[in-house]
Amino acid sequence: MRLHPLLVAVLVIAPVAARATPNFPAAAARDLQLSAPPACTICHATNSGGAGTVVKPFGKYLVSRGLRPFDEGSLAGALGAAAGERHDTDGDGVLDVDALKQGLDPNGTSTQGPTLEDPSFGCSATGSAGGTSTGLLVLVVVLRLAAAHVCRLRGRS
């Protein structure tokens, strides 16, 4: 029996029963009773996370203490090790666990000073980066004008 390609395609997209992705920031907040989940960037290069992007010293430390991808139990164990070892990644005198409870980055601050906020993405509500929407708006207007020009050309012919 030969499977119709369409049937095969439908079979492939059929299993849509998703389950929630293990959420390390939320799990860390629960384990340490934090007021808010920490940013992914305390371990990862960006908030997108992903395999191979654990580049921050604190993240590497947690990996060295048994942290495994998607395994919330291993996160609890690694955070427990950080507390038990009184680990201070950046050596600023504030333990990693305490830094998290204070809403700080255990990896420390930079030469920008503690006032440099974590990166955020998308159009800024503060209006400091309206360039994206403005650029789109300009493009839409240009496209609309171009379409009108085409209509005029067609009308002449």
In one-letter notation, the amino acid at residue 146 is A
Query: Shortest gap between Cβ of 103 and another protein (angstroms)?
Result: 15
Interface pick for another protein out of 3, 21, 33, 157 (rule CB under 8 A)? 21
CA-wise closest residue to 117 among 130, 131, 129, 103: 103
Q: Are 100 and 34 in contact (CB under 8 A)?
A: yes
Q: Which CB, 86 or 140, lies closer to another protein?
A: 140
Q: Which CB, 102 or 132, lies closer to another protein?
A: 132
Quote the DSSP letter at residue 40: G
Q: Are 81 and 67 in contact (CB under 8 A)?
A: no
Does 76 bind another protein (CB under 8 A)? Our answer is no
Does 67 bind another protein (CB under 8 A)? Our answer is yes
Site for another protein in 89-128 (CB under 8 A): 109-112, 116-117, 119-125, 128
Phi and psi at 45, nearest 5°, equal -65, -40
CA-wise closest residue to 21 among 76, 71, 74, 79: 71
Give the interface with another protein as residue ranges (CB under 8 A).
Answer: 5-6, 8-10, 12-13, 15-22, 41, 45-48, 50-56, 60, 63, 67-71, 109-112, 116-117, 119-125, 128-129, 131-133, 135-136, 139-140, 142-143, 146-147, 149-150
